[in-house]
Each structure stands twice: as structure tokens, then as C-alpha cells.
Amino acid sequence: MEISEFLAVESCKKDFTAASKEEAVRAVARLIAASPRVSGDLEDEIAEGLLAREKLGSTGFGDGIAVPHCKVESMESFAMALAISPRGVPFKAMDNRSVHIICGIAGPDSDPDTHLRLLAAAARILSISRVRYEILRSASSYALREAFLYHTSISAACQIDAEACRKLLVVVLQEEKSYREVMELFLELDIPGAVTHEGSLMGETLSTVPLFAGFMDVLGSSRPETRTVMALVPESSIDDIVGAIEEITGDLSTHKGACIMVLTPDLIRGSLETI
């Protein structure tokens, strides 16, 4: 999936201004409706859809980012918008901070798969601090679009070929934020059948054994929930997928609390895709 197909320069705006959340959402609807992918005058319908979604809970998910999105019955395909508000918009975000980057998504209700993948891509890309920094420094609508799309190119390189020789990718993560973003990456890449297992660290387990009481509480008050993610992926995509994960975790040769292993299965029978 090429996100460049969904984000037109006509739908990107630098120096976005809005005094309230509703005003911002309506302005984002206007940008989405300006896309060449949108046929007819659907601005009001898109705005109502976005506002209805906001009533379910704010799409401002922290770090100055909001991703308002909705399904619109009259739309034939998906379209996106991207806007920067230098002054910030009060958006009732999860962290109560003003929103400076807004990415809007709207499309038909008949294609939930594309909706989810676009949503995951936007959330993942905008959660990276250096990406936000580049986007906020964009000098024009063209530069804004290019800064965003540059970081989605990794996803385009990781196309999944179900018939290719496959490896077992194992990712172990301790940080909740990294785990959430890796899950968003897998959804964006349409990796089928990824399985997550929650576990605990050795020190945490031994600290409950009376013999080691007072010695093995190496974690102090911190109790990370270690998660292991396993998925079968094409061998040809391994380098690109590992690179995309390191965009989230940082260089794993120096970063603690995360690990990637790639194994060669002797036998693969069946599928872990959703029943």
C-alpha cells in the first residue's frame, strides 16, 4: 500500500489555525474534501463523520498529535489530510497537551482493512519524535507532504509475499510504547498471524521465591511486562522489517530492553491467520 496515493498536496496545510477542536475538525474535513480522490461536495458529510467519531473519544493520542478519522458512506475511496498548527489546538488529547500535527483520514465503510492500515501507518510514523520535528519544520505544503511520505517508504519496501521462503521473526520487547508501535507497524505492513505472548523477567520470578527474598528484586519498583511477538515473514523482507522495527526501538546493538531473533523453521504447516 502506497500512502502517497491517499495524501494529495491539496490536502496538506502549513500554518493551520483553529481556535477549538470542532473548528479544527471541520477544517480537516475541508482539506480531505479538497483531495482529487474525493468526488462531489462531501465536506459536510466528512465533517459530521469526524465529529461523530470524536464523541466516542478524542483521537488526540499525545505528543501533540491527533488523527481524526471516520467512515463516510458516500466516499468511493480513502483520502487523507495533513496539517500543522504552530500555535496548537486544544483537542482534549490523552496527555492534555495542545495538538500541533493533525492527520485526517476518511473513506468508505466497505473497506475496514485499508482504514486500519492507514490509521496504523499515521500513528506509527507520527509517534517518532524526529519525524514530528521534520514535519513541524516544513517550509511549504509540498515539503510537509514529502516529509511525511519519506518515512512511509519503509512500509512500501516491506511488501509481504505469501509464497516466498519464510523465516520466523521473534521480537521481545519490555517497553509498552515500543510494543504498541511495533503492533501498529505489523498492522500497517499487513503481516498475517502475528502472535503475542506476555511473560515476565527471570529476576521478577525469582523475587517471589522465599530463598531469594531481598536479593533478586533487581527490578526495584519497575515491573516491565515483557512481550514476545512471533510472525512468519518472507526472507526477502527481513532486512526491511528489522530496519523498520529499529526506527521504533533505536539501534538494537546499543539499546537494552528489546531483542530481535530470526529463525529458520524446519517445517511449516498450517497458518496463524485469523480464523
**CB-CB contact of 185 with 248 (8 Å):** yes
d(CA 211, CA 123): 46
| Cα pseudo-dihedral 240, 105, 123, 58, rounded to 10 | -170
Which are the contacts of 218, defined by CB distance < 8 A and separation ≥ 6? 203, 207
Helix (H) / strand (E) element for 131: namely helix 129-136
Q: Which of 69, 100, 115, 151 is catalytic?
A: 69
**Cell matching residue 60:** 488526540
From 44, 38, 37, 34, select the one nearest 10 (Cα to Cα).
Answer: 34
Give, in order, the Cα–Cα distances in Å from 4 to each of 63, 99, 125, 155: 24, 23, 14, 12
- Our answer to whether residue 69 is catalytic in this structure is yes
Which are the contacts of 176, defined by CB distance < 8 A and separation ≥ 6? 225
d(CA 72, CA 50): 9
d(CA 103, CA 152): 14
Residue 170, Cβ density class (10 Å: 0-12 exposed, 13-18 middle, ≥19 buried)? middle
Q: For the chain, how are helix, strand and coil distributed in percent, rounded to 5? A: 40, 20, 40
**CB-CB contact of 232 with 164 (8 Å):** no
Active site residues: 69
